[in-house]
């Protein structure tokens, strides 16, 4: 019986990548700082959109020392619109740790990388591969999907097989990762599969059986739950901010618990009417901030509010003029968003 000649999957991937790989700006650098910025920004973000944010971030903070000198208020305008604000906050923390403890250099050791705020197994592997040229697979969703289909194994077997593949080609780690990512993004997609264009198709188990029987099952991704989720009402009238009559732990503005982001407007309308006898028009949240306070996670949704009925000056709300903000005691979180009001 005729058997197909075995191929070296790594060589097939590298050959395809040389001809068809995507020309992305960060693939022309081995600077750990640039790679780290890119990898953090690209989490939960499409490549086309993330590229704009990456270039804007690097222009504002060209190196780790520039970022370490910044405050979250400096970083926020560059980050705004990406969501998941804890990622940006962790970047700022990491920059300060690297400058203080590592002289501004990224460690190449996996365990040390994993100690940095916001650096998980994938980001650590990406840094090791792209910046330090170590034979490490950067196992993201694309790599898991392509390799599980090619070998015909479950997700649990992929790391072991990937490690063997990369150790056999130690000098090509970065290009192997880039190539597999591109194959997963362009050809071996989760739903639409273009096997005729794939360099691995001749020996791919997925294609041989004609159905995705051995691919990793798609996990149902649950929304990250917060201990505290609040709708925050930003009340501004005649150059005055109107604050809660009670000192807030998370916000100086009136803040009320809400189950989801979609409930913020209704919660604020009802709560401000009950507590302060004012009727307001509430805009959708213009920014959401995540963080932790004394071991509890929170998510704050800030909404601009306009008074339709009632007298703010006669309400129980506290007022403060805009020109006195710098000398006032605002919560740290509120200082991050004041520039947007």
Q: Which domain holds residue 160?
A: 9-209
The closest alpha carbon to 142, from 104, 184, 183, belongs to 184
CATH number for the domain harbouring residue 39: 1.10.340.30
Same-domain pairing of 50 and 92: yes
> How confident is residue 213, by pLDDT bands cut at 50, 70 and 90?
very low
Supply the residues annotated as catalytic. 39
Among candidate residues 177, 209, 241, the one where a domain is terminated: 209
> pLDDT tens digits, residue range 141-159?
899 999 999 998 888 899 9
pLDDT category at 219 given cuts 50, 70, 90 is very low
Do residues 286 and 302 lie in contact, with contact meaning Cβ atoms separated by under 8 Å? yes
Q: Indicate the helix (H) or strand (E) that contains 160.
A: helix 158-167
- Count structural domains, the chain: 2
Residue 222 lies in a domain: no
Strand partners, 193: 188
pLDDT at 114: 95
Q: What is the pTM of this model?
A: 0.62
Give me the long-range contacts of 149-158 (CB less than 8 A, separation at least 24): 149/188, 149/204, 149/205, 149/206, 149/212, 149/214, 149/215, 150/9, 150/200, 150/203, 150/204, 150/205, 150/206, 151/205, 152/205, 152/206, 152/208, 152/209, 152/214, 153/214, 154/214, 154/216, 155/216, 158/216
173-195 tens-digit pLDDT: 999 999 999 999 999 998 888 99
User: 162 with 16, same domain?
Assistant: yes
Q: Give the tens place of pLDDT for each residue, 260-293.
A: 888 899 999 999 998 888 999 999 998 888 776 6
**Span 44-65, mean pLDDT?**
90
Q: Give the model confidence (pLDDT) of 67-123 as tens digits.
A: 999 999 899 889 887 777 788 999 999 999 999 999 999 999 999 999 999 999 999
């Amino acid at each position: 019986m005729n058997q197909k000649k075995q191929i070296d999957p790594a060589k097939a991937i590298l050959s395809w990548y040389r001809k068809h790989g995507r020309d992305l700006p960060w693939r022309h650098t081995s600077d750990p700082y640039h790679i780290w910025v890119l990898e953090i920004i690209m989490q939960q973000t499409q490549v086309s959109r993330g590229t704009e944010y990456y270039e804007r971030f690097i222009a504002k903070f060209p190196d780790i020392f520039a970022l370490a000198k910044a405050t979250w208020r400096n970083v926020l305008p560059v980050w705004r619109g990406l969501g998941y604000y804890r990622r940006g906050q962790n970047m700022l923390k990491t920059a300060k740790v690297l400058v203080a403890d590592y002289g501004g250099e990224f460690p190449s050791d996996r365990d040390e990388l994993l100690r940095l705020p916001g650096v998980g197994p994938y980001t650590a592997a990406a840094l090791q591969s792209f910046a330090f040229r170590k034979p490490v697979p950067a196992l993201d969703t694309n790599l898991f999907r392509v390799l599980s289909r090619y070998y015909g194994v479950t997700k649990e077997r992929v790391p072991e097989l990937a490690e063997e593949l990369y150790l056999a080609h130690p000098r090509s780690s970065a290009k192997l990762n880039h190539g597999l990512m591109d194959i997963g993004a362009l050809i071996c997609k989760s739903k639409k599969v273009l096997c005729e264009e794939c360099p691995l198709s001749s020996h791919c188990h997925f294609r041989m059986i004609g159905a995705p029987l051995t691919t990793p099952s798609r996990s149902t991704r649950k929304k990250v739950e917060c201990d505290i989720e609040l709708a925050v009402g930003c009340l501004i009238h005649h150059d005055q901010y109107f604050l809660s009559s009670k000192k807030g732990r998370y916000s100086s503005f009136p803040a009320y618990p809400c189950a989801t982001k979609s409930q913020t407007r209704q919660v604020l309308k009802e709560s401000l009417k009950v507590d302060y006898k004012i009727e307001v028009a509430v805009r959708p949240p213009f920014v959401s901030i995540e963080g932790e306070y004394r071991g509890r996670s929170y998510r704050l949704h800030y909404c601009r509010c306009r008074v339709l009925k009632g007298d703010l000056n006669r309400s129980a709300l506290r007022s403060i003029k805009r020109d006195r903000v710098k000398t006032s005691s605002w919560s740290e979180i509120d200082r991050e968003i004041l520039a947007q009001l």
